Amino acid sequence: MKYRECKIQIPKKIYDEFEEFVLQLPIEGYYEILFDPENPKSHKEGIISDNTRLSVYLKEDDLHTELKIFVFLKIHSLDDFFLESKIIETKDYEESYKEFYTPFEIGRYFIIPTWEKSKNANTPSSSIPLFLNPGMAFGTGHHETTKLMLNRMSSLNFTEKSILDIGTGSGILSIGAALLGAKFVTALDIDPNSIRAAEYNWNENAIPPNVRFELYEGGFDHKMAQEKKYDFLLTNITYSVISNNIDFISSIQTDHFLFSGVITEKRDLAIELFSKNLGGKLLYEDKLNDWVIIEWSK
């Protein structure tokens, strides 16, 4: 199978808005480029760049969606962006991230690519192995928002808890909660690629057989989000998506929320939004580069 790969570089300040836009398009998948051997960082950029690099995957002949992306970037970023596309085979996509996706530690977890399961023996004795193949879904564990989530989850008690994970992506947060003792996990995502990736990754991990896992295509308004009671809501989604769905979020039957995906400049707006619509109080927050995690209790 062939795809149209769009390599994009945008200013970090419009990443939030761009992600919301691109997820509404008929894309096949996307991921953030952590290292691009064809376009390495300039020595002037330093470790933390002001730009974000992404690969967005479309159907081979989908020039219409590529044009929409170009127009969006032209309007929101003028000439301060880069976009090029080429046709690739499925195997080219798979190898493009496998080459640089190696085992690493976050909080109590040791993230191991599924194709390197043999390296499980190298897992630190104090860590929990979590096997992952992100495929075309968001959630490699490398992004700051996922790191913030997994670090905080490592400090919380999930034993016998029920979890709602909205915007599950690769399923990394759902799996992480189950590995910490959750008894019931419901995962939702609007992207069918994420549903496939999350199901695959769940089956690759040593989840106790008594843990109940349900996976659905949908968002905050899905009946499984609205009709059941949960101990935790986990959502690694941008502020704009959260604010647009705050009415649905406020009606979810839980008292404990973990929000990531919020850029630091939207932090105060998020706190105001939660205070007004959820009530309750801020329990915890942390920051990594330009991103913040907010733990909230009703």
Tell me the pLDDT tens digit for each residue of 228-283. 999 999 999 989 899 999 999 999 999 999 999 899 999 999 999 999 999 999 99
Domain boundary among 98, 124, 150: 98
Assess contact for 166 and 193: CB atoms under 8 A: no
Q: 0.85 exceeded by the pTM?
A: no
pLDDT digits (tens, 9 = 90+) for 123-171: 788 899 999 986 655 656 678 899 999 999 999 999 999 999 999 988 9
Same domain for 145 and 285? yes
Q: How many CA atoms lie within 13 Å of 292's alpha carbon, on the beta-carbon side?
A: 17
Same domain for 82 and 148? no
- CA 191-139-288 angle, 5° bins: 130
State the Cα torsion 80-140-240-54 to the nearest 10°: 20
Same domain for 94 and 221? no
Same domain for 172 and 268? yes
- Separation CA 262–CA 270 (nearest Å): 8
Is 160 inside a domain boundary?
Answer: yes
Is 105 inside a domain boundary?
Answer: no
Full domain range(s) for residue 261: 141-297
Domain boundary among 98, 131, 157: 98
Is 133 inside a domain boundary?
Answer: no
Is 107 inside a domain boundary?
Answer: no
Helix (H) or strand (E) holding 200: helix 192-204
Same domain for 19 and 147? no
Report which of 207, 179, 159, 186 is spatially closest to residue 254, judged by C-alpha positions: 186
pLDDT at residue 138, as a whole number: 61
Quote the percentage of the chain above a pLDDT of 70. 86
Same domain for 168 and 60? no
Average pLDDT over every residue of 190-212: 91
Same domain for 146 and 284? yes
Report which of 270, 170, 182, 286 is spatially closest to residue 233, judged by C-alpha positions: 182
Beta bridge mates, 137: none
Phi, psi for 134 (deg, rounded to 5)? -65, -25
Domain boundary among 98, 132, 166: 98
